[in-house]
Every structure is written in C-alpha cells, then in structure tokens.
Structure 1
Amino acid sequence: MMSILWGNSFAAFMVVTIFLGGGAAWMSGRGIALSWRPVTQMILYMALLTAAVRFLHFALYEGELLSLQYYLINFAILLTICWLGFRFTRTNQMVRQYHWLYEKVSPLSWKERNT
C-alpha cells in the first residue's frame, strides 16, 4: 500500500529517512552551529542529504528515485531535524560561552540575563 508520506513501507521510511537521514541532519545542524556558519547553509546541505536519502530508498527498498513529492517531504523532515540540531547546539554555545550575558530558557532558546 502506497502512502502520501512514506511510499513503499513505513519501516523503510523510519530506517532511512528518520534514523539514518535524521541522524546525519542532526549532526549537520550541530556542525553548522559549532563552526558559527549561517543558518542558510542548512538549505544546501539538506538538499544534498535529501538526494542521498532518496537514493537509499531507491537502492535498498525499490522506492521511487525521481519523485518530487517524496523528495520535498524528506527535505522538509530533514531540514526540521537539522534546524533542531542547530538550535540545540547554538543555545548551549551561547549559554556556555557567554554565561555572563545569557541564560537558557529552554533547550532551543536563550535570553539576556537580568543584571
């Protein structure tokens, strides 16, 4: 049964897109944050990673290689995971490196300290 989100099988979607691609996306976001690069680089990196994830779906699970629908869905998921990795890392950076200026509000945000 084909689905709008995951194509051939939910298990293949979870293994390739969420675990493999999501792990690589998280580490990409973390790497972008640690090297103080702009957030806009995530778009290029996730476009390339999404192409690799689509190829893995094609090669391992006989999924569609050139499907714009599945490419955009995977891109949105991987970009979201990458952004979460970026924000989590950047929050920890700001709070750790500038502890006299900022305090952590949540795992994904910080605010200025009250003096």
Structure 2
Amino acid sequence: MGILWETGFWVFFFVTIVLAGGAAWMSGRAVARGWRPYWHAALWMLLLGAATRFIHFALFGGSLLSLHYYVVDTIVLIAIAGVAHRFTLTRLMTRQYRFAFEQTSPFGWRARSSR
C-alpha cells in the first residue's frame, strides 16, 4: 500500500491512468467541444472517480469506500480532464477563429496583432 495506490503501482497505472484517464481525456475534450466551462468536466470526474474505485474493488480487491483513494483517483482524473479541456479549447479557438487568434503553446492562445 502506498500513498497513491492501494493494490499496486501497475493496477493503479492501468485502471486509473490508462482506463479511467482515457475516459477523463475524452470527457474533457467533449466538454470543451461543447464550449462549456471546465468545471462541468470536473463534476463528471466525481462520478468517474467513484466508478474507478468500483473497478479497483471488483477486479483487484481494493477497498470500495476508501475516501483517501477516491480523492487520489478523482484528483488524477480531474487533472487529466483539465489538460484535455485546455488542449482542445486551444485548438478550437485557433482553428475556428484563425483570423483573430494565434496559438502560443499547446495550452494557450493570444489575439493576433493587427498590422
């Protein structure tokens, strides 16, 4: 048992990062493509965190009602969804409004300077 994982690193990596993290990435992307604010994705991650705890419990013998590991899983999922939301929003702003904005990084944009 560790601070971040209960049943082992590889179980945490596969279930929380790969499986649930993929769902978090797609959720953050979907929220951004709907032009909704980030906190919508964060609310969905609360439910996904509970589903992730259930998978840990049902398949790998983890505890179902552990508040500590639920919070850890949910924070990881919120972070992944946040990165996906910002990345997708940057792509949307700089591609759809190419005349007004230019991309400064994978996660940011700025107004184009008028010449």
**Match of residue 112 from structure 1:** 111
Q: What does residue 12 of structure 2 align with?
A: 13
Aligned-partner residue type, residue 54 of structure 2: F
> Alignment identity in percent?
50
Residues paired across the two proteins, number: 114
User: Which amino acid is 1:9 matched to?
Assistant: G
Q: 1:43: how far off?
A: 2.2
Alpha-carbon shift at residue 22 of structure 1 (Å): 0.4
RMSD after superposition: 0.7
The answer (yes or no) to whether the contact 2:42–2:81 under 8 Å persists in 1 is no
Q: 2:50 matched to 1:51?
A: yes
For 1:25, the equivalent position in structure 2 comes to 24
Superposed, 1:75-86 pairs within 5 Å as 75-86=74-85
Moved over 6 A (4+): none
Name the amino acid aligned to 2:89. Answer: R
Secondary structure, counterpart of 1:31 in structure 2: helix
User: Which one-letter code corresponds to 1:21 in the other structure?
Assistant: A
CA distance in 1, matches of 2:7, 2:19: 17
Amino acid at match of 2:19: L
- What are the ranges of 5 or more consecutive residues in structure 1 without an aligned counterpart? none
